[in-house]
Amino acid sequence: MKSSLFGKTFVLELGPDIRFKEKNLLIKYLREQNANISYTLTARTDYVLVKNDIDTYKTRRARQLGILLLNVEYIYEYQRHPDKIIDPNLYLITSAENKENFKSGKISLE
């Protein structure tokens, strides 16, 4: 069974909150799932993975291009439950107003 991350392209905009080793483990896991990691935003980017600070040049540019911002907790949840289908919509960052809710890892789409 293919991973739901298979073939997806991610740009990591994690900031200083995620340490070097943790970031490398995250990259390793994404590569094991046959996901692509890009360092630049393009129209082919599926998601920008973010942690806390969502107001950066890359996140603003991603919104302009219509690229979805996804909380990195989605990947962690996927790691914890590899056999379960995790809905990425529960982890989407939809606006700057959600920044306070972002700390919990999930944002309601109400």
User: pLDDT digits over 80-106, tens only?
Assistant: 998 888 899 999 987 655 455 555 555
CB atoms within 10 A of CB 82: 10
Domain ranges of the chain: 9-95
Average pLDDT over residues 30-46: 94
Lowest model confidence (mean pLDDT) among 45-49, 75-79, 82-86, 98-102 = 98-102
CATH class of 9-95: alpha beta
* pLDDT of 52 higher than 90: no
CA angle 9, 12, 16 (to 5 degrees): 170
Q: Is the pLDDT of residue 79 over 60?
A: yes
pLDDT in the model for residue 53: 61
Burial class (CB in 10 A: 0-12, 13-18, 19+), 59: buried
Percent of the chain at pLDDT > 70 equals 83
pLDDT at residue 74, as a whole number: 94
